[in-house]
Amino acid sequence: MLNVDISSLGPCLFRSPLHQIGSVQVPYKTEADRILYTNSVQGLQGENGTLSFEEAGPREQIFFDPPRTTVGIVTCGGLCPGLNDIIRGIVNQCYRQYGITRVYGFRYGYEGLVQRYGHTPIMLRPESVSQIHNFGGTILGSSRGQQPIGDMVDTLEDMSVDILFVIGGDGTLRGASEIAKEIARRGLRKAIVGIPKTIDNDIMYLDKSFGFETAFAEAVNAVKCAYTEACGAVNGIGLLKLMGRDSGFIACYAALAGSNVDFVLIPEVSFAMEGTTGLLEALRYRLAKRGSAVIVVAEGAGQELFQADGATDASGNKRYGDIGLHLKDQINAFFKARRMEVNLKYIDPSYIVRSVPANPQDNVYCSRLAQSAVHAAMAGKTSMLVGRWHNSFVHLPLDMVTHGRRKVDPHSELWHAVLESTGQPAMMT
């Protein structure tokens, strides 16, 4: 059975400064408030049928004394819509609800916690973050790659930081877990709270990650452009590469929303280029039948078509081959060899998709995540993250969500819906 216990720094001896607003009482939660892991009758009868997650929300008693509390915020990894919304939400919640006046932003990811890099932390106040949600990216900057855990904890000690909010993907959250373990080893009372960030929507045990709604909305616009290009030429092909290293959620949702995509290629479903049942022959048939085609491919799809070289990026992730350019070259060569005219337009909007400001739906989601994160940290919760599960905000242990990725199930209703929408063969192998 999964371990869902949340670590605590100790007894909560201070009364929360939160107060009712008019006649609206503070919706305090206790450890007895739980959200079931499963939401189906069949699930209740399984191994994890009685498993439940601790519900997020304000606690009546808190661990940290707000006037004496110092907070730090760090953003790591690739950019994602909503980062500034999270920063703004944390700062406002700390200042205006809990009365915390020392909130530092560590610049350029985990590098900002290592003093030899010389990235001076900046003081964050409500007035300095009041408009940052209107801009993409992160005002703190970001970076990839591991840093010495001991050096980062030294910085937290030197600056008397009591709470560190870590905003990032699975690699960042693994680093946060190691920071929490080093803090515990030293016998320090500091809270480490994660807020999961990934455009790919691949964090385990979450309904969705922030920024995904915005990213896929932008991707839909790119699908429309690909369709327009394909329809505007003889045997036109619109080839669109989207984000999705190991999970194809953006590609799937963008295709379903656009409703004019002919092929969706994702990491979870292998495909062959050659052969009577391969992609190229299926594409030739589609062109003969309709005169144009749109292909949406996730960046991690088709990696079995490349020779593995063992190269990794700064975060230690396997460096993938460029499937978009590979498909472009293979498709052009295939039709050229058969003396069939095609007009292929290749579109890669990856950096546009990830760098835009969050849309209103993500604005709201980020605000709720930030509020939940501050409530958890002030109650002395640590080595955990906040997320949404079955439409409720919950606390999850860091180690629980960093061992694996959420993926598109090839036997799920989602993938079946994609196959129905595109009309592509279920298997192209």
Binding residues: 78, 144-145, 169-172, 198-200, 243-245, 299, 351-354
Token digits for 95?
């200042």
Q: Residues with Cβ < 8 Å from 252, sequence gap 6 or more?
A: 264, 266, 408, 414, 415, 418
Token digits for 428?
């192209």
- Backbone φ, ψ for residue 128 (5° rounding): -85, -15
Q: Residues with Cβ < 8 Å from 429, sequence gap 6 or more?
A: 270, 271, 272, 275, 277, 278
Helix (H, G, I), strand (E, B) or coil at 164: strand
Degrees, nearest 5: CA angle 316-5-197: 40
Helix (H, G, I), strand (E, B) or coil at 51: coil
C-alpha span between 62 and 370 (Å, rounded): 17
Token digits for 43?
């699930």
DSSP state of 321: P
Range list of β-strands (E), 50-162: 52-55, 61-62, 70-75, 102-106, 122-123
C-alpha span between 250 and 215 (Å, rounded): 8
Degrees, nearest 5: CA angle 354-148-75: 25
Helix (H, G, I), strand (E, B) or coil at 367: helix
Going by the annotation, the residues of the binding site for ATP are 78, 144-145, 169-172
Give me the catalytic one of 200, 202, 348, 362.
200
Find the radius of gyration of the CA atoms of the chain. Answer: 24
Distances (CA, A) of 99 to 68, 117, 162, 379: 10, 31, 15, 15
C-alpha span between 422 and 254 (Å, rounded): 12
Going by the annotation, the residues of the binding site for substrate are 198-200, 243-245, 299, 351-354
Is the separation of the CB atoms in 123 and 104 below 8 Å?
yes
Going by the annotation, the residues of the binding site for Mg(2+) are 170
Beta strand 122-123 with 102-106 is antiparallel
Residue holding tokens 């439940």? 52
Q: Which residues on adjacent β-strands are paired with residue 298?
A: 242
C-alpha span between 384 and 387 (Å, rounded): 10
Helix (H, G, I), strand (E, B) or coil at 339: coil
Q: Is 200 a catalytic residue?
A: yes
Which active-site residues does the annotation give? 200
